[in-house]
Amino acid sequence: MYVVKFEDLNKSDIGIAGGKGANLGELTQAGIPVPPGFVVTAQAYEYFMDEAGINDKVMSILDAIDINDTKALQAAAEEIKKMIVEAPIPESLVLFIREFYNELCQRVGEDDTDVAIRSSATAEDLPEASFAGQQDTFLHVSGDDEVIEYIRKCWASLFEARAIFYREENNFEHSKVYIAVVVQKMANADKAGVMFTVNPSTGEEIALIEGSWGLGEAVVSGDVTPDNYQVDKKNNEIVNVTISDKKVMYTNDENGTSVKVDVPEDKRNARVLSDEELIELTEMGKRVQAHYGEPMDTEWAFEKDMLFLLQARPITTLGDVVEESEGEASDLGDVLVRGLGASPGMASGKVKIVLDIDELDKIEDGDIMVTTMTTPDMVPAMRRASGIVTDEGGVTCHASIISRELGIPCVVGTGDATTTLKENSGVTLDGKKGLVFEGISETKEEAPVAVAGAAAPIITVTEVKANVSMPEAAEKAAATGADGVGLLRTEHLMLTSGVHPYKFIMDGREDELIDTIADNVQIVADAFYPKPVWYRTLDAPTDEFITLEGGENEPREHNPMLGWRGIRRELDQPEILKCEFKAIKKLHEKGYTNIGIMIPLSQSPEELKQAKALCSEIGFEPHKDVDFGMMVEIPAAAIMIDEYIKVGIDFVSLGTNDLTQYTLAVDRNNEFVAKHYTEEHPAVMKLIERTIRKCAEAGVKCSICGQAGSVPHIVEKLVAFGISSVSSNTDAIADVRKTVARAEQKIILDAARKRLE
């Protein structure tokens, strides 16, 4: 498929539409107001490159360059972009694009309607990496010829110097990153900005909203210091309003072209969003977060009084919260400039003022980079800096996002750092409070520590563990001090490998499959060693695995949630399951005896028996060599838990995401019935309670790893039922741990009071 409408895409279509395109599809399907549009897919780009016959040439240019040689990198980028801009586009593709654009024009009732054209790389916007501002966006494109011209420019932008650099730095293979192009009706915003559905620095359930006049580009690019608002999501109370002096805005001139203009005098210091608009936005934020099941970073726009979302993606930097080091301020000089704390931490070094991209070379390791606003081209130099200070921008601008991801303290929106701070003078910046002090701090800087791990330890008898899906996230999860991993999902690991596991088997590459699994699981086992890590065998729904290389043979199921997934599928394809067992065996032989095995979505004790037999068959004896457990996700398993215990299990984990959907007959992926989905339904809670009590009676450990385990008021009940561990999302661990401690103390107190009666 070369061109696809938003209506026909969802978030699992990253391989086709890139993160941005897939999320716009997901939002459209969820009924969130999104300006209409379509995506020219990654496959269209691939088709173009193949037909143009320039792939090999591009790859050989890339192979030959040293990315740290800025000039050579720029020259290579220019050469590749020229090749792409000059190559012919296949006629069939041109026809498709014209047809979809004309259909969009008809739909909105305008000839040559204005569209925004944005690139959406297939590795872009993946949860683990933020490519903020990496590829190009073109606004106010109109007419099919212009649309095609700018799509081509987006393709070329995949080879901007900064994009090449970023891929090398993050070990993305150039040949594996494709680009999809989003073509979307322009929102002619009167006001626009960004919203994090939780505070990205602290993880608190506070919607953090930034807004300014005109199109959102002003906020996203950091050209303006936007108003900053915070709304408590519990009660929609507006807890903070900071109005900034907004000097510039993007607006449309008479030709419909977007231009940067001065904000009219009377609006410069006026508040952008009313209380009602803030609440409307917060409510939309809650819907989006509930739909995705995780905190989101969104772009929004008001056109007259209509609210639209232009983008949404998971927040990539959650949990980067740091404690202030002891005695930090004791040896600091005067405050030289003040701004917004954008990336927490303390940093000292020599000021290097960068007013032009040519001056980047002067940043040496450990310097403090001071600039009007960072751009994506500056990332290599930002990496060398120990701290970053900007004149402009808010806490969601480019500098803020990138410095948080790089873990470099950053202060933005100071107004005058480039003129106030002196070249080569020593300064210290506090990236949490947004202050820059005179002089180099004598206090030895301590490594940033995640709050949950650094706070005075809260000891709980009920273990509090972490759910992990991406090996890259393991360090961060371990830094919370979690008592282990209660759920290591395998699906993500396979999806990012890009190849369907069964294709490995069909191609006779079992060893490669085993190594892929073992290498990734080892990263997690290492981060948590010697704490337990429960590896869950593959729970592959057919609709998610269809886009993988070799996934074209996946059956088209009526309802994949009720279909061929979990252990039932693995028993039909035992070759994959055996490779997984072999991978865990291999890691045990390397000393990672902290890894246990857990099977998903079982509906009968017979399945447990068969899975254990396969494990024994490869010379890895359940219970003796490895802890072997199961998830309780189907009511049948909860009801028959005694029978499973008779077969023999070391532990059980409640998968309440599935248990809820199967108990209530509510498809968890279907937004039309989302309002009926609640883990707190008495029937679900009864099954949970029963499972916990039966396991406790039999001396089998019982845990939870569904989303309910990240919701403090549900966790409180689970502790009272006698659960032995709770596995939560990393961002929820600190709160869950406090809830568990309080619930345990309440039980002790109640018992003591009873004795006194």
* Binding site partner of 310, from Mg ion, ligand PEP, none, Cβ cut-off 5-8 A by kind: none
> In this structure, what token pair is assigned to residue 591?
């000393």
Selecting among 140, 174, 291, 398, the annotated active-site residue is 398
Task: Please name the amino acid found at residue 380.
Answer: P
Q: Which is nearer to ligand PEP, 353 or 708 (CB)?
A: 708
The residues, any chain, with a CB within 8 Å of residue 686's CB and separated by 6 or more, are: none
> In this structure, what token pair is assigned to residue 712?
């403090």
Task: Please name the amino acid found at residue 162.
Answer: R
Q: Which is nearer to ligand PEP, 294 or 658 (CB)?
A: 658
Q: Which of 21, 36, 471, 655 binds Mg ion (CB under 5 A)?
A: 655
The least distance separating Mg ion from the CB of residue 658, rounded to whole angstroms, comes to 4
Contact 501, 574 (CB under 8 A): no
Binding mask 585-624 for Mg ion (x = CB under 5 A): ----------------------------------------
The least distance separating ligand PEP from the CB of residue 618, rounded to whole angstroms, comes to 25
CA-closest candidate to residue 535, choices 579, 479, 481, 475: 579
Contact 379, 399 (CB under 8 A): no
* Binding site partner of 585, from Mg ion, ligand PEP, none, Cβ cut-off 5-8 A by kind: none
Q: Which is nearer to ligand PEP, 434 or 560 (CB)?
A: 560
Using CB under 5 A, which of the segments 124-132, 466-474, 652-660, 728-736 binds Mg ion?
652-660
* Binding site partner of 487, from Mg ion, ligand PEP, none, Cβ cut-off 5-8 A by kind: ligand PEP
d(CA 174, CA 163): 10
Start-to-end C-alpha separation, the chain: 73
d(CA 73, CA 303): 41
* Binding site partner of 203, from Mg ion, ligand PEP, none, Cβ cut-off 5-8 A by kind: none
The least distance separating Mg ion from the CB of residue 633, rounded to whole angstroms, comes to 5
The least distance separating ligand PEP from the CB of residue 634, rounded to whole angstroms, comes to 10
* Binding site partner of 656, from Mg ion, ligand PEP, none, Cβ cut-off 5-8 A by kind: ligand PEP
User: What residues line the site for ligand PEP (CB under 6 A)?
Assistant: 487, 489, 539, 633, 655-658, 705-706
The least distance separating ligand PEP from the CB of residue 644, rounded to whole angstroms, comes to 17
Whether omega for the bond prior to residue 532 falls within 30 degrees of 0, making it cis, is no
d(CA 497, CA 513): 10
Contact 168, 65 (CB under 8 A): no
111-125 in b/e form (b: 16+ CB < 10 A) is ebbbbbbbbbbbbbb
> In this structure, what token pair is assigned to residue 161?
């110097």
In Å, what is the CA distance from 613 to each residue of 581, 620, 657? 11, 10, 28
The least distance separating ligand PEP from the CB of residue 654, rounded to whole angstroms, comes to 7
Alpha-carbon 466 to chain mean position: 16
* Binding site partner of 258, from Mg ion, ligand PEP, none, Cβ cut-off 5-8 A by kind: none
Using CB under 5 A, which of the segments 52-60, 395-403, 628-636, 661-669 binds Mg ion?
628-636
Total residues interacting with Mg ion, rule: CB under 5 A: 3
Q: Is there binding between residue 544 and Mg ion (CB under 5 A)?
A: no
CA-closest candidate to residue 733, choices 386, 371, 363, 483: 483
The least distance separating Mg ion from the CB of residue 656, rounded to whole angstroms, comes to 9
Q: Which is nearer to ligand PEP, 464 or 487 (CB)?
A: 487
In Å, what is the CA distance from 15 to each residue of 391, 500, 543, 578? 38, 13, 13, 28
H or E element at residue 285: helix 275-292
* Binding site partner of 285, from ligand PEP, Mg ion, none, Cβ cut-off 5-8 A by kind: none
Question: Helices in 87-134 by DSSP H: which ranges?
Answer: 91-108
Any idea which residue has 């360059």 for tokens? 65
291 is catalytic: no
Q: Which of 658, 667, 731, 735 binds Mg ion (CB under 5 A)?
A: 658
Q: How many residues does the chain have?
A: 757
Q: Which is nearer to Mg ion, 316 or 729 (CB)?
A: 729
d(CA 370, CA 34): 37
CA-closest candidate to residue 674, choices 695, 698, 657, 651: 657
Q: Which is nearer to ligand PEP, 128 or 204 (CB)?
A: 128
Q: Which is nearer to ligand PEP, 430 or 658 (CB)?
A: 658
The least distance separating Mg ion from the CB of residue 703, rounded to whole angstroms, comes to 14
Q: Which is nearer to ligand PEP, 209 or 488 (CB)?
A: 488
* Binding site partner of 223, from ligand PEP, Mg ion, none, Cβ cut-off 5-8 A by kind: none
Q: Contact positions toward Mg ion, by CB under 5 A? A: 633, 655, 658
Catalytic residue list: 398
